[in-house]
Amino acid sequence: MTKTLNLALQGGGAHGAFAWGVLDRLLEEDFKPRALTGTSAGAMNAILLAHGWQQGKAEGAKALLETFWTQVSLNSPGELLGSQFHDTQITSMTGWMMDLLRYISPYDLNPLDINPLRYLLEELVDFEQLKDASPMKLFIAATDVSSGKIKLFRENELTIEHALASACLPTLHKAIEIDGSYYWDGGFSGNPAVYPLIFDCKEDDIMLVLLQPLQGYELPTTSQAINQRVTELGFQSTFLREMRAISYTIQQAKGCYFSTNGLERRFRSLRFHLIESGEVFSSLEQASKYDTRQIFLQELKEKGRLTADQWIKENWQKIGNKPSCDLEPLFL
């Protein structure tokens, strides 16, 4: 029997290859996602999955995701330096470059706003076709620079500009202008946004695919570790607040079991599932999010596949029946 499962895909640069592995394994099961919400790299994975499905169902989605992440690695600076430097040296150089970019505006450094991601998406995704007949709902998050509010772009309006807006890091690229407003990476306002899967969808099963561990961090004491954790919190705080509100509302709704209120019934019916990176990323430096070498992306993909495979063995039968994770100890 085909399982229906909506997915919330977190962003995290090159770490999105872990989610690629998760999706690659999930797509081997008898399942169809009805809706996807994604931010930054999560938005790329969502768009590619939807368009690939449009071309050839699950196999088409697997193939397009494979093509995208393989192409991402081809022009990687780390790939070009790989034969001359060790992994730690490449990561250190990447970190140094990212620190330097904090003091140089992309409006000065990259006035033509050259973005390899634009060229790759133009090659792989027919946005007009996706707009006309997307096989699933899409909620692509970006951040309005002026107001700081989250903006969710839907499948019937998606263009390459919307996709780039979701992944626009302000230290690397100019803000993306859409209809007179300017947008940065969606991670500042929702990474990922979960509420549309509750209020704009009918399905009860929601899977969170996270790239930042929820627990298990050691106290950062070096300046590098402190700065890394500060950055992570900045991109995770809105998600944590949203999930805390959702968890609290579910808790309250369960206490009103006989209520006929439609909103309370909706929250009582929700079944959450979670696949997270666990220890995969806890030991990696922040700069590894910009490491697009093929060997690194493939390693993350395989770890994502293994994590998803273990989750499937333990929890697949719970989809449609009961949640496989308890939100309260994680978010309350």
Pairing of strands 181-185, 176-178: antiparallel
Q: Is 181 a catalytic residue?
A: no
CB 291 within 8 A of CB 17: no
Count CB atoms within 10 A of the CB of residue 141: 30
Q: For residue 132, with 0-12 CB atoms within 10 Å meaning exposed, 13-18 middle and 19 or more buried, which class applies?
A: exposed
Distance (Å, whole) CA 305 – CA 310: 9
Q: Counting runs of H as helices and runs of E as strands, what totals does the chain give?
A: 13, 10
CB 47 within 8 A of CB 126: no
Count CB atoms within 10 A of the CB of residue 199: 9
Distance (Å, whole) CA 91 – CA 296: 11
CB 292 within 8 A of CB 72: yes
* Residue 131, token pair as written in the block: 């707009």
Peptide bond between residue 192 and the one before it cis (omega within 30 degrees of 0): yes
Count CB atoms within 10 A of the CB of residue 126: 12
* Residue 300, token pair as written in the block: 């993350």
Print burial letters for 265-274: b (CB count within 10 Å at least 16), e (below 16).
Answer: ebbbebbbbb
Q: Is 185 a catalytic residue?
A: yes
Distance (Å, whole) CA 125 – CA 104: 32
Distance (Å, whole) CA 295 – CA 320: 37
Find tokens 């790329």 and name the residue: 44
Q: Which residues pair with 274 in a beta bridge?
A: 208
Catalytic residue selected from 24, 144, 185, 291? 185
Q: Please work out, in degrees rounded to the nearest 5, the angle formed at the alpha carbon of residue 66 by the alpha carbons of 61 and 68.
A: 95
Catalytic residue selected from 40, 76, 189, 277? 40
Residues assigned a catalytic role: 40, 185
